[in-house]
């Protein structure tokens, strides 16, 4: 059980008694260390599996921990999120503590907040609704009641979306509505569990008799409410192991604080403290940049930073690229990603990370134009996809009646049985050409095939019924398998994940740090957020920024202050070294930057203006149409229909969805402008040089009223 662990990981695994604090840097194998600790204790007979509760913050992390523990033979250990563990206890003890059944749990607070605003006669727009909801969540996890909200918000330095008195009024009305409708929210699950354990000593003792040992992952993200629940679970015992990294505290807006981690030794003077700094994830070049970021940090978390030591062979230097505008930045990233995929890098091992979800659309469009499959992290849940639901139904039927299914006669093991069943749902040994919906459906089924292979390897003799049970458990926890496709994700949602290649985009002042980060504490959290993004990369890292938002805009943006001293030509290198040999490039729309030397920046473009009313355009969709959405269209309807028919034929022949050929807005723009040469066609946003070379002749032929077949090579 201890083989393969480094000395520090082994120290974690063998520290089974008393309080233990593991300070674990990014990529240092903390999950490996704590799962081996639990499994070692179970196999040595020192821990009873049913007496161990491992707590983390996401369903995905809890599912991964359960899977690793099963592989290590520690079956029966509970690995859950705080909310999942609390909800399970609350459902069990509610009839005894309160009577009746537990009130219904609401999934979304926003409708209730909107109703509370109506009761208070306060008008909130969509953004204010979201922000007030976030304030209510913060108040509850910090155990702040409505009457104390204004003072607590002022003390915490929060910028409130409305007058603090109004927010407090809305918060109070929201709580009243919940009581009237007999519903609870996710924060109530923790609050009510705390209340039950505080008020009912007999129930608290029953829980403590069940759970003797606790492990808390990502301890830097614990809120005051979660800390209080943990203390009630523990009682006067000290069989607690916490794992965290203050330099990865990025959720303070939700009430998370690293203080519990940093104060652990003060609260537990006899604690064993182990530091994990051997980085097994990233190359020395990536680690050097990450260390350089933290070397410039300030504040309490920075005083406890861990300097990582890469254990991997040397790789390529991080690449810094400057673009003229955001569409050019997106196209540049998409072009590089296309080249990586063509060179053999799996799409699932590439990620584009940005500061805000609003940045996603530009990159979705750029990747679609480049024919690159992608998935949005935080979009539709894997187990909610229609093809996944149908596949699980088919697997369940095969598990129940497979003995009478000739399809399984030649399938001797679990993976081959799954492949046989899913072949009837559209899975093939080779992926379909292209991207889009067809490829996404195939990727979903392929993810189930890969999961079956991993499951069979981990559990010898596993059956279809065992796999279906595993899928049901994963669906309940939303622990999805890996889906191929470039990942688009915000930096916050990328926490806990990793890829071979990471593109950190929009690394400019105003976005990183974000404009509304004003205080020193907020600025330092933005730095930590960038650190989290950097440490997601295993082998290659690209950082980029744009000088203006839209084509023709004023080039008044500058790279993030966090990169000062870390990229060539940006001043003195920060303490601790920052990879001074990193490559730098400057990119512009339609040009491939040379890797060795800076490429001269293109001259400033004229603003994109509506060709009907002359207004300056900033919306990406309007810029593609080259007119305002509301301005009248002079589109040639017949030409548009011919272009649509041609596009459908192209999509069928290439095996990719139609939008990967050209989007509807690009076709509309073509049908409105009716270009008569390649120069005119290339000026239309969404065409690009790659598509101009591939489709230009045929599109121009259609615009000229000629048959497309006349333009094709007869051979």
Give the residue ranges of the annotated binding site for ATP. 24-31
Q: What are the E-state strand segments in 14-103?
A: 20-24, 52-56, 78-81
The token pair at 84 is 């999942």
Which DSSP letter does residue 107 get? S
Please give the annotated binding residues, written as ranges.
Answer: 24-31
CA distance 430 to 449: 13
Tokens of residue 492, six digits: 């916050």
Structure tokens at 105: 């749990």
With tokens 């290590």, the residue in question is 72
Whether residue 637 contacts residue 681, with contact meaning beta carbons closer than 8 Å, is answered with: no
Spatial separation of the C-alpha atoms in residues 8 and 20, rounded to whole Å: 13
Q: How far apart are CA 572 and CA 324, in angstroms?
A: 25
C-alpha dihedral (434, 438, 443, 449), degrees to nearest 10: -120
> In which residue are the tokens 């504040």 written?
299
Alpha helices in 264-385 (DSSP H): 264-267, 284-295, 300-303, 326-342, 360-369
Q: Give the angle 666-667-670 at the CA atoms, nearest 5°.
A: 90
Q: Is 546 helix (H, G, I), strand (E, B) or coil?
A: strand
Peptide bond into 711 cis (omega under 30): no
CB atoms within 10 A of CB 118: 13
DSSP 576: T
Rg of the Cα trace of the chain?
28
Could you tell me which residues come within 8 angstroms of residue 183 by beta carbon, excluding any fewer than 6 positions away?
A: 103, 104, 105, 106, 112
3 state DSSP class of 610: coil
CB 240 within 8 A of CB 20: yes
- Which residue do the tokens 């509505």 mark? 177
State how far Cα 521 lies from the chain centre.
Answer: 24
Specify whether the CB–CB gap between 529 and 492 falls below 8 A: yes
3-state secondary structure of 179: helix
Cα 28 to Cα 33, 103, 220, 248, 415: the distances in Å are 9, 42, 16, 13, 32
- The two structure tokens encoding residue 113: 């907040």
d(CA 161, CA 354): 24
Closest residue by Cα to residue 137 from 261, 260, 256, 248 = 256
């Amino acid at each position: 059980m201890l083989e393969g662990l480094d000395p520090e990981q082994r120290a974690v695994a063998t520290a089974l008694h008393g309080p233990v604090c593991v300070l674990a840097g990014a990529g240092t194998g903390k999950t490996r260390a704590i799962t081996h600790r639990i499994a070692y204790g179970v196999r040595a007979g020192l821990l009873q599996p049913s007496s161990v509760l491992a707590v983390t913050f996401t369903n995905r992390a809890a599912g991964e921990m359960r899977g690793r523990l099963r592989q290590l033979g520690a079956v029966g250990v509970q690995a859950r999120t705080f909310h999942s563990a609390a909800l399970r206890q609350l459902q069990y003890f509610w009839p005894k503590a309160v009577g009746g059944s537990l009130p219904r749990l609401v999934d979304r607070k926003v409708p209730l907040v909107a109703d509370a605003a109506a009761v208070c006669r306060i008008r909130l727009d969509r953004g204010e609704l979201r922000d007030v909801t976030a304030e209510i969540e913060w108040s509850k996890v910090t155990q702040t009641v409505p009457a104390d909200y204004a003072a607590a918000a002022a003390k915490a330095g929060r910028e409130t979306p409305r007058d603090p008195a109004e927010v407090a009024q809305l918060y109070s009305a929201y709580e009243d509505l919940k009581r009237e409708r007999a519903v609870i929210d996710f924060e109530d699950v923790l609050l009510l569990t705390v209340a039950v354990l505080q008020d009912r000593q007999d129930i608290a003792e029953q829980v403590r008799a069940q759970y003797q040992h606790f492990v808390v992952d990502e301890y830097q993200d614990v809120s005051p409410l979660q800390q209080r629940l943990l203390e009630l679970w523990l009682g006067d015992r000290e069989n607690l192991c916490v794992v965290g990294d203050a330099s990865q505290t990025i959720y303070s807006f939700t009430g998370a604080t690293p203080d519990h981690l940093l104060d652990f030794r003060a609260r537990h003077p006899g604690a064993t403290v182990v530091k994990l700094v051997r980085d097994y994830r990233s190359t020395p070049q990536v680690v050097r940049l990450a260390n350089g970021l933290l070397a410039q940090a300030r504040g309490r978390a920075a005083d406890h930073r861990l300097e990582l030591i890469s254990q991997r062979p040397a790789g390529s230097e991080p690449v810094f690229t400057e673009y003229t505008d955001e569409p050019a930045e997106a196209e540049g990233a998409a072009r590089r990603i296309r080249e990586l995929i063509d060179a053999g890098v799996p799409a699932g091992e590439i990620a584009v990370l940005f500061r805000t979800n609003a940045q996603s659309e530009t990159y979705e469009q750029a990747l679609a134009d480049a024919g690159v499959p992608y998935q949005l992290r935080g979009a539709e849940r894997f187990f909610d996809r229609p093809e996944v639901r149908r596949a699980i139904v088919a697997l369940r039927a095969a598990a129940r009646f497979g003995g009478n299914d000739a399809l399984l006669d030649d399938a001797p093991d679990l993976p081959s049985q799954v492949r046989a069943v899913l072949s009837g749902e559209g899975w093939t040994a080779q992926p379909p050409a292209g991207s889009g919906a067809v490829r996404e459906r195939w990727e979903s089924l392929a993810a189930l095939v890969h999961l079956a292979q991993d499951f069979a390897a981990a559990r010898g003799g596993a059956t279809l019924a065992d796999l279906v049970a595993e899928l049901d458990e994963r669906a309940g926890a939303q622990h999805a398998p890996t889906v191929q496709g470039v990942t688009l994700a915000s930096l916050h949602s990328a926490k806990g994940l990793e890829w071979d290649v990471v593109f950190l985009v929009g690394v400019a002042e105003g976005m990183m740090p974000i404009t509304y980060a004003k205080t020193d504490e907020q600025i330092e959290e933005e730095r930590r957020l960038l650190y989290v993004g950097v440490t997601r990369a295993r082998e290659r890292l690209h950082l980029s920024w744009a000088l203006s938002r839209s084509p023709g805009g004023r080039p008044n943006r500058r790279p993030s202050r966090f990169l000062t001293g870390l990229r060539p030509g940006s001043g003195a290198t920060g303490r601790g070294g920052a990879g001074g040999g990193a490559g730098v490039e400057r990119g512009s729309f339609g040009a491939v930057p040379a890797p060795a030397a800076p490429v001269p920046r293109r001259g400033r473009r004229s603003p994109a203006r509506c060709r009907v009313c002359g207004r300056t355009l900033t919306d990406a969709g309007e810029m593609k149409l080259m007119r305002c959405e509301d301005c009248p269209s002079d589109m040639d309807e017949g030409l548009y229909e011919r272009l649509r028919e041609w596009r459908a034929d192209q999509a069928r022949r290439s095996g990719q969805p139609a939008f990967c050929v050209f989007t509807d807005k690009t076709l509309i723009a073509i049908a409105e402008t009716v270009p008569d040469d390649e120069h005119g066609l290339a000026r239309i946003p969404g065409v690009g040089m790659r598509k101009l070379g591939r489709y230009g002749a045929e599109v121009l032929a259609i615009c000229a009223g000629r048959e497309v077949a006349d333009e094709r090579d007869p051979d």
